[in-house]
Amino acid sequence: MARNLNMRIWRGNATDGGLENVVVEANEGEVVLDVIHRVQATQMGDLAVRWNCKAGKCGSCSMEINGRPRLACMTQISSFAEEETITVTPLRAFPVIKDLVTDVSFNYRKAMEVPAYAHPTNLAPGEARMEQVDVERSQEFRKCIECFLCQDTCHVIRDHEENKKSFAGPRFFIRIAELDMHPLDTLRNRKQTAQTEHGLGMCNITKCCSEVCPEHIRITDNAIIPMKERVVDVKYDPLAWLGSKIFKREGIV
Amino acid sequence: MTSIERHEYDVIVIGAGGAGLRAAVEAREANLRVAIICKSLFGKAHTVMAEGGAAASMGNVNEKDNWQVHFRDTMRGGKFLNHYRMAELHAKESPDRIWELETWGALFDRTKEGKISQRNFGGHEYPRLAHVGDRTGLELIRTMQQKIVALQQEDGKKFGSMEANIKVFAELTVTEILKEQGQIAGVYGYWRESGAEVLFEAPTVIIATGGVGKTFKITSNSWEGTGDGHALALKAGANLVDMEFLQFHPTGMVWPPSVRGILVTESVRGEGGVLTNDKYADNEAEADRWYLDQDNNRRPPELLPRDEVARAINSEVKAGRGTEHGGVFLDVSKRLSAEVIKKRLPSMWHQFFELAGVDITKEAMEVGPTCHYVMGGVEVEPDTAAAVGVPGLFAAGEVAGGMHGSNRLGGNSLSDLLVFGRRAGIGASEYAKKANRIPVRESSIKAASERIEAPFSRVGGENSYSLHAELQEITHNLVGIVRTGAELKEAIERIAEIRKRSANVSVSGGRHFNPGFHLAFDLDNMLLVAESTAKSAILREESRGGHTRDDFPGMNSKWRQINHISSFDGSKVNVRAQALPAIPKELYDLFDVHELEKYLTADEIAKGGSK
Ligand SMILES: Cc1cc2nc3c(=O)[nH]c(=O)nc-3n(C[C@H](O)[C@H](O)[C@H](O)COP(=O)(O)OP(=O)(O)OC[C@H]3O[C@@H](n4cnc5c(N)ncnc54)[C@H](O)[C@@H]3O)c2cc1C
């Protein structure tokens, strides 16, 4: 059951651009990325859009659909009313390259600032033993497909370019939390540096990041809040401070 | 040339999937300067989509498992057309490669004893696939991506620049591998974002560009799977081996049309999914028992090798026993509770719920074959991954041929990426340290540059989107899962016609992030791949693994002794037969001679392996 769909697509580049109206055929079961591809193949051969897996696994086709940060490959046309116009725009927190493609290099720079995993020097390959329950906490964060929707929606950077320098963003808070909860990681003080170097303190827990996460990672509840709480403990509690010096490493719980 | 961007490196890795990243780590650890080039953003390569797991005989779940058993399974799966040495190295080294990932921070699912858990997969005798739910590829990519960042941080401390020794050039397409005086001198390409051209000079290039799925209409591959590395290698004078073998995965989604081809992981069957409308499913009681006690029960038909399941589904559908949309039903809801399904197959649940509106904890999935993996690829020296015939060129991962013979077992690709990615890194490093560097001549640069400009200089020519669609129609209908000599002949002619027309592709718009322009280059690669596949397929007059001839239905031991080697003469692909290396005695002796009789000729059996 094909029908005609009204769309508004943002077209332009770093300096200039605007919404263009198109009418495009949509078929049963299609997602927004399908109709964008149809526009590309039939009406706008040079329409720029990123995509890869088309199954919600790679996090490439991030954009804003009717103002909401989403993956185009996981947004069903049928989730909109028949007469509704679908408006697609590039991620707002990042500079536009062209049309729906933005420059997300900010995120890769931030990734390089998080200190890497540190394996115990006395543990040879194959010797590690870990309980499933213990790996699961970090595994939740390792589900992240790096679509950067959480980064896009985060108020700290969305409307405040000046904050980008000192704020890593939700994606990298879960990366730090993941390493912090990793049963084998030996690097200490990850939470403290989250606060002092990656801007954890700037987050005011509005949970927008958790809401847009296509992997349903509980970014705020399971990573940010526990880290914030422990940072406070560690900062003011001399016993916890002493504990962190005595035990091999401090976990989050 | 005026002012193109130029770089100089020791090793260039084309591709940032599992194979490319593993190779890059190795080359950097050998203290060389490495460039990683990829078409997508860093971390998005095809490997990210792999679900089920990585095969390695760690013996964590069944201690009877070892490299010999894995080797046997791999050879059987490939119907003995595998390069024995690759299968041997792969089986021996994959456990170390998995454990190594753990030292880089990977978190695999665990057994009760706290070891890496392993799951069953088609064709593997014991539970063998290390996994993380059904997102194992993501774990692999992310671990290596983060390992590269770790190395960059080391360099930052030492040299003051994180990108001193290893740099990722993301969203850059390589259009040419450059040679001077018969050896590798660099690569040429363009930034996808700006269309600006870039020259890389280096004595070694590792091709790790993945597969060719986009040549076909129904595929589990993303837009990146356009066979670029296969075509780049051919054009650089390397060979492709056995390009007739393509794996059609038995279970792709079939409905709704927009998701057609997207993969339903084989772990669905590994975890107990039942294929109905399928002639094997007649002894469910034993099949049910097998999931609990694998030593005393026979495995269910759902876990036969992929080619067999795919053909079974194909013939069921052709016989009119398929579903309304031309598939069959796959059901996990019968054997597993909703809770277990969501835990073990979370992304499958997600995928069906969000894309097809199907709740797999309650209902069956509708599935059918999809073009998934190419067994054929660049002919390499097994130990070093050096491309035969081109000094300085290496290839690893899906783009390399030989390892999987005529059919790949599930899980054997991720481990292949690690084992041969590393070996390619070592091979290239050793070569680079000794190589004398030959600068790329200005005339070579000019030629490469003119090729990039060409589609812009034409007006009113062919549209690359429609040529691509026509090619996909031909491959799907004439070079697909079941082939005949007559159809292949037609395919070869029609591919040649499209190739002629593609020389006249014109592109609208500018160079700035222009997908129409990008596709013009991908199309050229896909056409060469399709030509090589069709020409190899028409020669092989038997059915084996991922090559089924309706006019030659049986497997023939004489054909097992033959590899098909594709080469490119500048205008067309030529295919010739080449003898497969004979299996040495110590590997030969791992098999029961009665089993070997199925595959080898009487002469070979009489010899009992070489040497
Ligand atoms: C849905 C799905 C599920 C799978 N599940 C499993 C599984 O469970 N277990 C298993 O073992 N295997 C699985 N496979 C197969 C396996 O994932 C692939 O074979 C493997 O990931 C290929 O890895 P690679 O490193 O060779 O290349 P890829 O991961 O495909 O990466 C290719 C790289 O090359 C780059 N590239 C290509 N052309 C160019 C160019 N011209 N210029 C610059 N860069 C270029 C790309 O950008 C990309 O970075 C699955 C495949 C699919 C599609």
Last residue of a domain, one of A83, A102, A121: A102
Domain layout of chain B by residue ranges:
19-56+66-105+134-245+373-440, 251-370, 452-555
Average pLDDT of the segment spanning B123-128: 94
Q: A109 and A78: one domain?
A: no
Whole-angstrom distance, CA of residue A117 vs CA of residue A180: 9
Residue range B256-302, pLDDT digits in tens: 777 888 888 777 766 777 766 543 434 556 556 555 666 666 566 66
Rounded to the nearest integer, the mean pLDDT of chain B is 91
The single residue of B22, B70, B119, B269 carrying the catalytic annotation is B269
In a domain, A252, yes or no: no
Interface of A with B in 8-37 (CB under 8 A): 13, 27-31, 34
Please give the tally of structural domains in chain A: 2
Q: A121 and A189: one domain?
A: yes
Whole-angstrom distance, CA of residue B419 vs CA of residue B421: 6
Indicate which of B143, B154, B354, B508 best probes the interface with A, i.e. most A CBs within 10 Å of its own CB. Answer: B354
Q: Could you tell me if the CB of B51 is within 6 A of ligand 1?
A: yes
Indicate which of A40, A57, A127 best probes the interface with B, i.e. most B CBs within 10 Å of its own CB. Answer: A57
Q: Could you tell me if the CB of B17 is within 6 A of ligand 1?
A: yes
SS (H, E, C) chain A: CCEEEEEEEEEEECCCEEEEEEEEEECCCCEHHHHHHHHHHHCCCCCCCCCCCCCCCCCCCEEEECCEEEEHHHCEHHHCCCCCCEEEECCCCCCEEECCEECCHHHHHHHHHCCCCCCCCCCCCCCCCCCHHHHHHHHHHHCCCCCCHHHHHCHHHHCCHHHHHCCCCHHHHHHHHHHHHCCCCCCCCHHHHHHHCCCHHHCCCCCHHHHHCCCCCCHHHHHHHHHHHHHHHHHHCHHHHHHHHHCCCCCCC
Mutate which of B414, B519, B525 for ligand 1 pocket (most atoms within 8 A of beta carbon)? B414
Whole-angstrom distance, CA of residue B170 vs CA of residue B148: 14
Ligand 1 centre from B420 Cα, in Å? 14
Q: What proportion of chain A, given as a percentage, has pLDDT over 90? A: 81
Task: Give chain A positions within 8 Å (CB) of B110.
Answer: 130-132, 135
Q: A112 and A222: one domain?
A: yes
Q: What is the pLDDT of residue B279?
A: 37
Q: What is the pLDDT of residue B352?
A: 85
Q: A142 and A235: one domain?
A: yes
Confidence of residue B203 (pLDDT cuts 50, 70, 90): very high
DSSP letter at B546 equals T
Report the CATH number of the B452-555 domain. 1.20.58.100
Chain B contact present for A43, CB below 8 A: no
Average pLDDT of the segment spanning B467-479: 94
Give me the architecture of the B251-370 domain, per CATH: Alpha-Beta Complex (3.90)
Task: Give chain A positions within 8 Å (CB) of B258.
Answer: 27, 29-31, 34
CB A227 within 8 A of CB A194: yes
Q: A38 and A11: one domain?
A: yes
Is pLDDT of A73 > 70? yes
Is pLDDT of B222 > 50? yes
Interface of B with A in 40-59 (CB under 8 A): 40-44, 46, 48-49, 58
Q: A97 and A109: one domain?
A: no
Q: What is the pLDDT of residue A235?
A: 57
B305: left (phi over 0), alpha (psi -120 to 50) or beta: beta
Whole-angstrom distance, CA of residue B121 vs CA of residue B51: 12
Chain A contact present for B586, CB below 8 A: no
Whole-angstrom distance, CA of residue A142 vs CA of residue B485: 49
Q: A109 and A214: one domain?
A: yes
Chain A contact present for B568, CB below 8 A: no
In a domain, A237, yes or no: yes
DSSP letter at B193 equals T
Q: What is the pLDDT of residue B298?
A: 58
ipTM of the complex: 0.91
Binary contact (B41, A41; C-beta < 8 A): no
Whole-angstrom distance, CA of residue B526 vs CA of residue B471: 9
Interface of B with A in 237-296 (CB under 8 A): 255-259, 262-263
CB B132 within 8 A of CB A139: yes
Amino acid A11 reads: R
Cα distances from B1 to residues A173, B8, B144, B202, B444, in angstroms, run 46, 17, 37, 19, 11
Mutate which of B22, B26, B47, B249 for ligand 1 pocket (most atoms within 8 A of beta carbon)? B47
B450: left (phi over 0), alpha (psi -120 to 50) or beta: alpha
Chain B contact present for A117, CB below 8 A: yes
Confidence of residue A244 (pLDDT cuts 50, 70, 90): very low
Nearest CA to ligand 1 atom 52: B50
Average pLDDT of the segment spanning B124-139: 95
Q: Which atom of ligand 1 is nearest to the CA of B44?
A: 49
Q: What is the pLDDT of residue B295?
A: 64
Is pLDDT of A253 > 60? no
In a domain, A29, yes or no: yes
In a domain, A253, yes or no: no
Q: A140 and A74: one domain?
A: no
Whole-angstrom distance, CA of residue B505 vs CA of residue A196: 55
Q: A140 and A91: one domain?
A: no
Nearest CA to ligand 1 atom 2: B50
CB B11 within 8 A of CB B393: no
Q: A6-10, A74-78, B383-387: lowest mean pLDDT where? A: A74-78
Mutate which of B109, B144, B413, B528 for ligand 1 pocket (most atoms within 8 A of beta carbon)? B413
Chain A contact present for B506, CB below 8 A: no
Chain B contact present for A55, CB below 8 A: yes
In a domain, A36, yes or no: yes
Q: What is the pLDDT of residue A249?
A: 42
Whole-angstrom distance, CA of residue A72 vs CA of residue A64: 8
Whole-angstrom distance, CA of residue B62 vs CA of residue B295: 10
The alpha carbons of chain B give a radius of gyration, in whole angstroms, of: 23
Q: B37-46, B169-178, B504-513: lowest mean pLDDT where? A: B504-513
Residue B551's nearest CA partner among B485, B476, B492 is B485
Last residue of a domain, one of A102, A124, A144: A102
Task: Give chain B positions within 8 Å (CB) of A126.
Answer: 58, 95-96, 99, 102
Residue range B95-116, pLDDT digits in tens: 999 999 999 999 999 999 999 9
Indicate which of A52, A141, A182, A187 best probes the interface with B, i.e. most B CBs within 10 Å of its own CB. Answer: A52
Chain A contact present for B508, CB below 8 A: yes
Average pLDDT of the segment spanning A124-147: 96
Nearest CB to A53; choose among B49, B152, B354: B49
Chain A contact present for B458, CB below 8 A: no
Residue range B232-263, pLDDT digits in tens: 999 999 999 999 999 988 888 887 777 888 88
Whole-angstrom distance, CA of residue A228 vs CA of residue A195: 8
Is pLDDT of B202 > 70? yes
Residue B175's nearest CA partner among B378, B387, B448 is B448
Q: A123 and A207: one domain?
A: yes
Q: How far is CA B491 from the centre of its chain?
A: 23
DSSP letter at B254 equals -
Q: Could you tell me if the CB of B263 is within 6 A of ligand 1?
A: yes
Q: A79 and A129: one domain?
A: no
Residue B112 burial class via C-beta count within 10 angstroms: exposed 0-12, middle 13-18, buried 19 and up: exposed
Last residue of a domain, one of A72, A102, A132: A102
Binary contact (B222, A29; C-beta < 8 A): no
**3-class state of residue B138 by DSSP:** helix
In a domain, A142, yes or no: yes
CA dihedral over B311, B315, B317, B322, signed as positive or negative: negative
Whether domain B19-56+66-105+134-245+373-440 has CATH 3.50.50.60 = yes
Mutate which of B119, B128, B209, B529 for ligand 1 pocket (most atoms within 8 A of beta carbon)? B209
Catalytic residue status for B249: yes
> Which CATH number do you get for residue A28?
3.10.20.30
Residue range B443-455, pLDDT digits in tens: 999 999 999 999 9
Ligand 1 centre from B401 Cα, in Å? 14
Q: A58 and A182: one domain?
A: no
Ligand 1 centre from B214 Cα, in Å? 12
Domain extent at residue A66: 3-102
Binary contact (A27, B42; C-beta < 8 A): no
Chain A contact present for B152, CB below 8 A: yes
